[in-house]
Amino acid sequence: MRVVIQRVSSASVEIGGDIKSQIGKGLLLLVGIEDTDSQEDIDWLCRKISGLRIFPDEQEVMNKSLLDIEGEALVVSQFTLHASTKKGNRPSYIQAAKPDVAVPLYESFVKTLSAHLQKTVETGQFGADMKVSLVNDGPVTILIDTKNKQ
């Protein structure tokens, strides 16, 4: 499972001209799922994300977590995070899980993260053509891949 974490002042998802979800200060999480991902990956990742100290403290040092600031989270599925560009100029998405595998894992990720944060996590819509807007705060962008835990 790959996640691009962006610290944001605000973020939103628009589908078909309508705002589906929006958040204020917090994290925009772009999530890519592959066939070999499991609930173990989700549990590890949600613990890591909720405790990641990337928000400034009183001395402007990145020392506070999403939990510490009581921030919000917006989760958007993004299969293109598993693009392979080794051959040619057209990316291959063979590593990305098909919807029958990805949807239940995506839903579990959202539910697990919500439990860790003890609040509702906003989402995009799996498989939809979404317009994602954000104000990246910092900018701070971090990539985590559960295949590289060690």
Judge whether 39 counts as a catalytic residue: no
Judge whether 59 counts as a catalytic residue: no
Judge whether 80 counts as a catalytic residue: yes
Which of these is catalytic: 78, 112, 123, 146? 78
Which of these is catalytic: 6, 22, 39, 80? 80
Show the 3-state SS of the chain. Answer: CEEEEEEEEEEEEEECCEEEEEECCEEEEEEECECCCCHHHHHHHHHHHHHCCCEECCCCCEEECHHHHCCEEEEEECHHHHCECCCCCCCECCCECCHHHHHHHHHHHHHHHHHHHCCCCEECCCCCCEEEEEEEEEEEEEEEEHHHCC
Report, as residue numbers or ranges, the catalytic residues. Answer: 78-80
